[in-house]
């Protein structure tokens, strides 16, 4: 027995398998035995569902043997054996079989659960072109609805109008279709998804020809994305007749456009792929994407579905692990091959946003504060790119380093090195005098030499810098480019109003800290702003993240106060992008971060920086995130300046992805933390 937190079923995941067994042509007894073997394997691996290929009990390419009484009777006997064997197995077993009904033969998908035939769905679209001749043997299920079939001594729903719905597992609704059904302009599964199906199954044969696999994968990926569903696809493989065709045994699992699992093709051995499908993610996407519901309303009535209930009985006291990739950095591409491409897109979205603002404002200069830290570095590089695109000199960027009480030599030197390397108009204004004057004016103890380093002391410095930048912009007919990032805005780690929360246009406003780090690494790796910038960018990346507002030998460490940005960006993504509850966010974070040796790391992250977090750490920093995000920081987000949305993770602009009251209670989220051990 384990704590329910550690069970994938507690958090809305189901484990699904797609199997490609070896078959023997026209030998149902052999094929049923192989199917049972693989169903038992799926059971051992914790699957709740296992999908087999089209006509898997008879084999697909048997032509006129489908009209033989002996063969069809043997298929029915084989199904009886499969139903009997299923009584001891956990997963829903979905197999393909040629079945007789009311004097006609149908190409069917049969769903079986622990000795019960749940439903039988006949193929709707029968290909009868080029190498396919299915209309020679089969009747279409297009007009078969509200009927029943007797199979394995049971009466089961029969028709193309069946949805299988779990009574004990929120969001699990299954639809079955067969091969060609997904190749038509409006697949049956499209309307099924609009009617609530979240897991779409395709039992396929689909012979192999050059280039077809790529098309199949594109088709399944796009269909799962368009339907906001999981799509499981199983093609015929080893043992099928090669009289005129060949078979590759392609097995695929997609979820909302993302490939979760894929079997090797042309294998001599039976293949099974297993993945964990996030039903909660699918439901969240459907709830947010209002046009999906609108389309369901338009299509309502096109098909009247029978909803067949079943009890999944998925255990919540067993730790099955999690069979899916959970990226540590959800805002950053996990695919190394696409990293450069997506960094290019992000960088250009930022720079194009600034270009348009300058054109619209009829202004040719920008003012920016450069601290020698990550955010101002990224904003400066974006500004340089925008100026080049506008055909304006880099000296139209008026860059200022603004040291105050706690500025270190390292960050100030890096600010100067960077400004010189990129060729902007660089100046230094010491903000200390202005800060001292304000501390005196308001009667702060620090003005008399007391070591009182409170929020007022810190914000006086942030405010003095911002005030200087705005007045410099007035003086030079320029706009102030903001540098604060999405992570700081989420955590409220910015000074409101006359502070780093405010600017004329913020290019970093929807870019989280972890993505900014990757963008700067990308610029340094490729020397995109010249070789002279490489060493300074590298040193900026290696510098401890700090606001540098409190003097002393030991620097302020931002992450020691608000938490590691890697964890907080993770929390931000799953809280705002999908609205996941704290326990599910922690469950995903635990799987992503508990072992530094597991999973993928972007190659640009050094071994020494590949850290791990245990569950108590994850829960602690999630608590910090929830308090800061929901209890104290919304008023800052309500008044953010303009800036472009950069990633699908979203922004926190009240004009964009996030609208929320500034005075709401955080108790619903904080109380949910109790379900995390």
Give me the active site residues, please: 54, 123, 179
User: Both tokens of residue 116?
Assistant: 């019960």
Query: Is the distance from CB of 5 to CB of 587 less than 8 angstroms?
Result: yes
Q: What are phi and psi of 230, to 5 degrees?
A: -90, 145
Q: How far apart are CA 585 and CA 594, in angstroms?
A: 14
Sign of CA dihedral 326, 328, 331, 332: negative
Q: Which residues contact 377 (CB under 8 A, 6 or more apart)?
A: 370, 418, 520, 537, 540
The first and second tokens of residue 402, run together, are 């603004």
114 Rama sector, left if φ>0, alpha if ψ -120 to 50, beta otherwise: left
Q: How far apart are the first and last CA of the chain?
A: 14
Order across the sheet with 366-369: list the strands: 425-428, 397-401, 366-369, 479-482, 505-506
Structure tokens, 164: 């299988």
Query: Nearest CA to 371 among 508, 565, 532?
Result: 508
> Token match 């290929």: residue?
53
With H, G, I as helix, E, B as strand and everything else as coil, classify residue 454.
Answer: coil
Radius of gyration of the chain (CA): 30
Does residue 426 sit in helix, strand or coil?
Answer: strand
Name the token pair of 471. 């007045």
With a CB cutoff of 8 Å and minimum separation 6, the contacts of 209 are 246
Would the CA dihedral through 568, 573, 575, 576 be positive or negative? positive
The angle formed by the CA atoms of residues 67, 68 and 72, to the nearest 5 degrees, is 95
3-state secondary structure of 258: strand
**Of 256, 250, 253, residue with least CA distance to 276:** 253
Distances from the Cα of 357 to the Cα of 350, 475, 476, 591, angstroms: 11, 19, 17, 42
* Torsion from C-alpha of 405, 407, 408, 411, nearest 10 degrees: -170
Instruction: Output the six-digit token pair for 268.
Output: 């001599």
Is 347 exposed, middle or buried, given 0-12, 13-18 or 19+ CB atoms closer than 10 A?
buried
Q: Rounded to an integer, what distance in angstroms lies between the CA atom of residue 162 and that of residue 154?
A: 17
Under a CB-based contact definition with an 8 Å cutoff, are residues 253 and 261 in contact?
yes
How is residue 324 written in tokens?
């899916």
Task: Report the distance separating Cα 532 and Cα 529, nearest Å.
Answer: 8
Q: Give the full edge-to-edge strand order of the sheet including 230-234.
A: 258-262, 251-255, 230-234, 199-203, 173-178, 162-166, 306-310
Place of tokens 């490609």: 20
Instruction: Tell me the CB-side half-sphere exposure of residue 374, using CA atoms within 13 A.
Output: 26
């Amino acid at each position: 027995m384990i704590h329910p937190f550690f069970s994938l079923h507690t958090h809305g995941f189901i484990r699904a398998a797609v199997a490609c067994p070896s078959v023997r042509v026209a030998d149902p007894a052999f094929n049923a035995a192989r199917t049972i073997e693989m169903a038992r394997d799926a059971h051992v691996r914790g699957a709740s569902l296992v999908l087999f290929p089209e006509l898997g009990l008879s084999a697909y390419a048997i032509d006129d043997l489908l009209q033989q009484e002996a063969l069809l009777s043997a298929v029915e006997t084989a199904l009886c054996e499969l139903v009997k064997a299923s009584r001891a197995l956990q997963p829903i077993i979905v197999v393909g079989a040629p079945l007789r009904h009311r004097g006609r033969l149908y190409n069917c998908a049969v769903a079986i659960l622990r000795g019960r035939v749940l439903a039988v769905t006949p193929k709707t679209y029968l290909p009868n072109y080029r190498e396919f001749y299915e209309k020679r043997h089969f009747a279409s299920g297009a007009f078969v609805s509200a009927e029943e079939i007797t199979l394995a001594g049971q009466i089961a729903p029969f028709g193309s109008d069946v949805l299988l719905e779990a009574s004990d597992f929120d969001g699990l609704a299954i639809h079955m279709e067969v091969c060609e059904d997904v190749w038509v302009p409006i697949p049956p599964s499209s309307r099924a998804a609009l009617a609530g199906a979240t897991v779409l199954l395709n039992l396929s044969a689909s012979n192999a020809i050059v280039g077809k696999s790529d098309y199949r994968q594109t088709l399944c990926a796009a269909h799962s994305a368009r339907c906001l569903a999981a799509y499981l696809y199983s093609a015929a493989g080893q043992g099928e007749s090669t009289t005129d065709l060949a078979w590759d045994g392609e097995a695929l699992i997609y979820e909302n456009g993302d490939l979760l699992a894929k079997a090797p093709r042309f294998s001599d051995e039976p293949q099974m792929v297993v993945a964990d499908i996030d039903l909660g993610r699918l439901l969240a996407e459907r709830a947010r994407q209002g046009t999906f519901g609108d389309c369901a309303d338009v299509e309502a009535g096109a098909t009247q579905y029978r909803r067949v209930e079943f009890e999944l009985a998925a255990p919540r006291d067993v730790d099955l692990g999690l069979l899916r990739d959970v990226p540590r950095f959800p805002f950053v591409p996990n695919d190394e091959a696409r990293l450069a491409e997506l960094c290019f897109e992000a960088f250009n979205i930022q720079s194009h946003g600034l270009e348009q603002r300058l054109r619209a404002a009829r202004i040719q200069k920008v003012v920016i504060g450069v601290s020698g830290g990550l955010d101002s570095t990224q904003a400066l590089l974006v500004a340089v790119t925008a100026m080049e695109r506008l055909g304006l000199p880099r000296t139209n960027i008026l860059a200022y380093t603004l040291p105050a009480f706690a500025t270190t030599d390292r960050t100030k030197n890096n600010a100067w090195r960077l400004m010189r390397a990129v060729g902007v108009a660089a100046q230094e204004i010491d903000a200390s005098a202005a800060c001292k004057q304000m501390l005196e004016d308001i009667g702060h103890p620090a003005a008399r030499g007391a070591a009182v380093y409170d929020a007022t002391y810190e914000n006086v410095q942030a405010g003095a810098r911002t005030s200087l930048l705005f007045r410099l912009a007035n003086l030079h007919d320029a706009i102030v480019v903001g540098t604060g990032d999405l992570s700081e805005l989420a955590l409220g780690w910015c000074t409101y109003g006359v502070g780093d929360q405010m600017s004329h246009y913020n290019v970093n406003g929807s870019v989280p800290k972890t993505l900014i780090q990757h963008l700067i690494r990308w610029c340094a790796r490729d020397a995109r702003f010249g070789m002279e910038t490489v060493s300074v960018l590298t040193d900026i990346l290696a510098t401890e993240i700090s606001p540098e507002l409190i003097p002393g030998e030991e620097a302020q460490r931002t992450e020691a106060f608000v938490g590691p940005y890697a964890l907080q960006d993770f929390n931000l993504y799953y809280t705002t992008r999908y609205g996941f509850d704290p326990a599910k966010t922690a469950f995903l974070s635990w799987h992503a971060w508990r072992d530094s040796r597991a999973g993928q790391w972007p190659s640009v992250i050094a071994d020494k920086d590949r850290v791990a977090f245990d569950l108590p750490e994850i829960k602690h920093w999630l608590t910090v995130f929830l308090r800061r995000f929901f209890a104290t920081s919304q008023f800052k987000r309500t008044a953010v300046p303009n800036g472009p949305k950069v990633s699908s993770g979203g922004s926190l602009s009240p004009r964009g992805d996030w609208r929320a009251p500034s005075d709401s209670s955080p108790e619903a989220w904080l109380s949910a933390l109790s379900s995390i051990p």
